[in-house]
Homo-oligomer: A and B are copies of this chain.
């Protein structure tokens, strides 16, 4: 089966502008060399009419699907009536509504007594402000990150990111973070936090005392590595005991990706600082939040600022998304059910072949290939069959699936069938 039925179409290709004008740094348009035109829900259509089922999901920014109709109408209404679009961090009706709704629908029911910062429109802005705040509060400079972490491309965020190619891009030594092994880094052989706790408590250990630990509950870019609830709980305890702040970077795993709104809810932990972005606007519009314990709000007015902190169209769609999907547990329950469906089908794909294993939580799922090159070949074969999926992991050895949470069970099943075919094709 292929999703795109128009088999008579020419090969997809890119216009000259991409090679003659755009920088060599471009990436996704290399693996998917076609020009996208329209999009709705889980489907994207290119200029030649080819349709793609999108299991890439804007790298986590499209949890409610492309151009979600409920959000779209609110957005168009806002723009049409000349409501204010750009306002830095002035007060606006859209911002007031968002703050109130975010508090009423998300924070209050979860008893999270957080203040909300608008740190700029990207996840990296949120991470930068989280690190700044942790350093300001503690007066310490060092941060603990984890193997295969991904937190962004600006210098502060990059310093806590693991990928060696991206780190090298900094052009200066990234020196204020020390990596520790993520959960299950040693395949269960070594006790949790053995090294981290020991070196922290050893006055001769040579580890600069950290201001904070920054962690993803599931490492998406790192290869769909899932931290167990008990590991996260132990990490929270470790931080509490030693007066180290715990930052959960929920940029990719928040907003329902693993089921609950925050990915750390399942573990029952309460981070000191939380970063959100990607799907927080609900419509793929740039927006980010930094949340932190009320008593950590030691910012001076304007100490961290930015031109696009107050992106009102994003507030509008964000508010609408919260109202539409998060008033009760229906959406969250459906995500968990769909996640189980995905995992079952993927376990089957893995069980039928050697060298493949399934991994994930909620609707972030992955297939890890012992032969790393296969993962890329599978994604290429999937694209040819109308399915968008990307690789992740340090050797690009994992096919990572982040379909919109709104994807129907039928589409999930169809897409996974294409994936199965693509694996067979890649295996030759």
Contact = CB atoms under 8 A, between A and B. Distances in A.
B301 A30 contact: yes
16 contacts: A17-B103, A18-B96, A25-B129, A25-B297, A25-B299, A25-B303, A33-B91, A38-B82, A58-B87, A67-B85, A124-B306, A131-B171, A153-B305, A167-B206, A277-B307, A286-B311
B83 A61 contact: no
A325 interface: no
Given A27-B89, A76-B79, A85-B66, A171 B135 contact: yes
Contact of A38 (B84, B131, B154): B84
Stoichiometry, copies per complex:
4
A203 B165 contact: yes
A148 interface: yes
Shortest 5 CB-CB contacts between residues of A and residues of B: A86-B284, A135-B171, A204-B394, A162-B206, A175-B175
A272 to B, nearest CB: 14
A109 interface: no
Contact of A26 (B33, B84, B89, B102): B89
B91 A18 contact: yes
A250 interface: no
B165 A300 contact: yes
A285 interface: yes
A62 B34 contact: no
Contacts of A99: 17-18, 21-22
Interface stretch (A191-199, A327-335, A405-413): A191-199
Contacts of A174: 208
Contacts of A87: 28, 36, 39, 58
Interface in A89-145: 89-93, 96, 99-100, 102-103, 115-118, 120-125, 128-129, 131-132, 134-136, 141-142, 145
Contacts of A163: 203-204, 206
Contact of A14 (B91, B157, B208): B91
Contacts of A346: none
Given A86-B66, A307-B61, A206 B161 contact: yes
B154 A125 contact: yes
A57 to B, nearest CB: 9
A22 B176 contact: no
B206 A181 contact: no
Contacts of A132: 169-171
B37 A83 contact: yes
A357 interface: no
Interface in A180-228: 181, 185-186, 189-191, 194-195, 198-199, 202-209, 211, 222-223
A373 to B, nearest CB: 15
Given A24-B297, A162-B206, A222-B204, A58 B307 contact: yes
Given A23-B115, A58-B88, 13 more contacts: A15-B96, A22-B117, A23-B290, A44-B84, A61-B308, A72-B82, A86-B285, A124-B306, A147-B204, A163-B203, A167-B208, A169-B304, A285-B313
A59 interface: yes
